[in-house]
Amino acid sequence: MIRWFAGHPTAGNLLLILILAVGLFAAPNLTRETFPDYLPPEVSITMEYRGATAADVEEAICQRLGEALQRVDYMKEVSCTARDNQAQTIASMEPRGDMGRFLDDIRTEIEALTDLPEEAEDPVIRELYRTSLVAAIAVYGPMSFSHLEAYTSQLEDRLFAMDGVADVIPVGLSQRQWHIEVSRELLRQYGLGVRDIARAINSQNLDMPLGTIETDSQDIQLRFVDERRSLQALAELPVIGGAAGAVLTLGDIATITEAHEREEERVDFNGQRAIVLEIHKNRHDDALRVMDSLEAFIDEEKGRRGGNVELEITQNMTSIVKDRLQMLVGNGITGLLLVGLVMALFFRPRLAFWALFGLPAAFAGAFVVMALTGLSLNMITLVALLMAIGIVMDDSVVITDNIAQWHADGNSPLEAAAKGTREILPGVLSSFLTTVSVFIPLAFLAGELGAVLEVLPVVLIAALAASLIEAFWILPHHLKSGLGKRREKAPSRFRSAFDTGFESVREKVGQLADGAIRFRYGVLAAMLLILLGSVGLMAGGHVRMEAMPEIDGDVLEARVLMPQGTPLHQTRAITERITSAMLRLNEEYTPDQPDKQALVQNIQTRFNQHADAGEKGAHVATVMADLLTAELRTVDLATLTDRWYEEIGDIPSLIALNIQEPGFGPRASPLKCACKVLTWMS
């Protein structure tokens, strides 16, 4: 088979074209993301129980939910966190279960409960990790907040219509309410009570079906609609009517104002009140494609509005994906060129070129397998491809060298290609099987880390398998053509100098090896000393071990936790202090950035949000700073975090201040909350 491909004039080329064509067809369809999908299948059940302590929530809700959910099929674990005013339950499903049926079973079991507190709100049941954040849009400008809210609602509908957008979540908004205030004197004057006012409003705000009128030509559905949809309409609502026809309206006796349910549901963006729209995608959609569409949408919207409103991208989760992919691809191309240059020093340039050409075939084969198995182009799969460069080039160098040696011994190009390849076949195959046996156990690791690393052996082995096809069926034919007829030609001055220098280096290495053999016991003792020293460094903690490396992102967060009951104005004063500290750091580090670009691109404050504490209220807040991309800025996050702590200083009455970046990969954030966690294992 090797000789047939080496001697056939077109078979090798056709096979190479086929591999490259299929790979080029599969590559654009690969999803690009930072890490593979590693999050477990889980369902969240949230119940609000206002006014209850964590102990009350545990007894009245958590215990009942835990007992009920144990009857659900494929339930792996149930964990309920009891906090003041809220119960948060996480139900984990076994991998072999079906999420749709799992959700239905959970709803059925919860709806069957009859002993939950009547004061508790209905449970909110949703699948976790169904979508992932792409970026957020901060909407602000010189307009009233009500107009800003209306405009943001229109934007939300239009964003939903974009391809790849799975969800749009507004932040900084709460339920709009109308407050009606009536003085006691007026109530006594007209003989009214609060219930009379409420009854009048309820009875004159109706939207209900009245039935159907059936005619010979058509059926007409009737509906009674009498709703007040503005403050003016509500003020004109009759409360009391006199016998003479006089009417006392609600606006005559009450002060009506518009407000929102939770004052602490607020976002300040670059010092202005804003509404933030978080754009989410489905887990299997390409984040960079969604981001490109989002940027085009914002540019179009800015041109349409003519500067009347500001739209800024914040929390860009794709920047780190794009930067890391470009970095890894750039490093791979650089390594490929260096390998080609080094090989050209030892072989004819034509032979070096064909030996190097095996890498595109290996990558194309890996892309095909990734597309068929649903794998994405992420940091782990790219690392596997980078590892494949070295292994593939080792095989190509060995085969090329052996074929060139057979040709130098007087064999024809065809005989040299066939015999040289067959001779090296057992060694290359054993090397491939050794690599497979080393990396294949990674595919069977459990947990989140296993879900991340299991893709590495799949991609690596696919690339190596494709490279074997290229090395044994395609490369010999190309090398045969590159060998051509032997011609006696004087080597160039550079070639003569290089060969002489390399022979001298090889001779010195040989002498060094001979010396090592003569003093083998001393060499063995030195190796054992180095080995023991390495073990000692690891055991002593001088060499740090961690499952996943820390990755510098482009967002840094300061999460504030104050005692419960802290008023909003006091929390705002603390967040303003934290924001001012970051702005001072921006002035300090901006002159050191490339082209003096601002270190802090945007800064926002979200009240009623703290990812670690899991609490809601005016006593928690998060300050987010969008930074210059990690590929450009000259200061790392660790240094910036320490300096931010120093600039903030001590804050009285503060429970906790955590400055960190949103995590990437399977690294959980510590949970710090005044709560109790109950866990049931199936």
The three-state (H, E, C) secondary structure of 558-616, written as one string: EEEECCCCCCHHHHHHHHHHHHHHHHHHHHHHHHHCHHHCCCEEEEEEEECCCCCCCCC
Three-state secondary-structure class, residue 527: helix
Mean of the pLDDT values across residues 602-620? Answer: 85
The amino acid sitting at 138 is A
Tokens of 567: 């008023």
How many residues belong to the chain? 682
**How many helical (H) and strand (E) elements, i.e. helices and strands, does the chain have?**
23, 20
Tokens of 5: 């491909």
Cα dihedral sign for 649, 650, 653, 656? Answer: positive
CA distance 132 to 38: 12
Q: Within 10 Å of residue 86's Cβ, how many Cβ atoms?
A: 22
- Give residue 670's pLDDT band: very low, low, confident or very high (50, 70, 90): very low
Cβ-in-10-Å burial (0-12, 13-18, 19+) of 284 comes to: exposed
The amino acid sitting at 529 is L
Mean of the pLDDT values across residues 205-217? Answer: 80
Dihedrals phi, psi of 547, to nearest 5 degrees: -65, -45
CA distance 599 to 627: 6
Mean of the pLDDT values across residues 423-429? Answer: 89
- Give residue 364's pLDDT band: very low, low, confident or very high (50, 70, 90): very high
* Buried/exposed 545-567: b ≥16 CB within 10 Å, e otherwise: eeebeebbbbbbbbbbbbeeebe
State the pLDDT at residue 457: 92
Going by the DSSP 8-state scheme, the letter that residue 629 receives in this structure is P
The amino acid sitting at 480 is K
Q: How does pLDDT run across 258-273, given as a tens digit for each residue?
A: 777 677 888 999 989 9
Start-to-end CA distance of the chain, whole Å, equals 56
- Give residue 578's pLDDT band: very low, low, confident or very high (50, 70, 90): very high
Mean of the pLDDT values across residues 652-668? Answer: 76
State the pLDDT at residue 549: 63
CA distance 334 to 353: 15
Going by the DSSP 8-state scheme, the letter that residue 39 receives in this structure is -
CA distance 181 to 201: 13
Q: How does pLDDT run across 8-64, given as a tens digit for each residue?
A: 878 888 998 999 999 999 988 888 887 787 778 899 998 888 888 888 888 889 888
Three-state secondary-structure class, residue 42: strand
Cβ atoms of residues 99 and 125 within 8 Å: no
Q: What angle do CA 281, 286, 291 make, to 5 degrees?
A: 70
Mean of the pLDDT values across residues 220-245? Answer: 79
Gyration radius from the chain CA atoms: 35
CA distance 625 to 269: 10
Cα 385 from chain centroid?
21
Going by the DSSP 8-state scheme, the letter that residue 377 receives in this structure is B
State the pLDDT at residue 672: 43
The single residue listed with the structure tokens 């209220």 is 617
State the pLDDT at residue 497: 85
State the pLDDT at residue 87: 87
State the pLDDT at residue 621: 92
Cα 210 from chain centroid?
51
pLDDT over 90 at 339, yes or no: no
- Give residue 548's pLDDT band: very low, low, confident or very high (50, 70, 90): low
The amino acid sitting at 213 is I
Cα dihedral sign for 629, 630, 631, 634? Answer: positive
Mean of the pLDDT values across residues 135-162? Answer: 88
CA distance 463 to 367: 8
CA distance 67 to 666: 30
Q: How does pLDDT run across 63-93, given as a tens digit for each residue?
A: 889 888 888 998 988 888 887 788 889 999 9
State the pLDDT at residue 397: 84
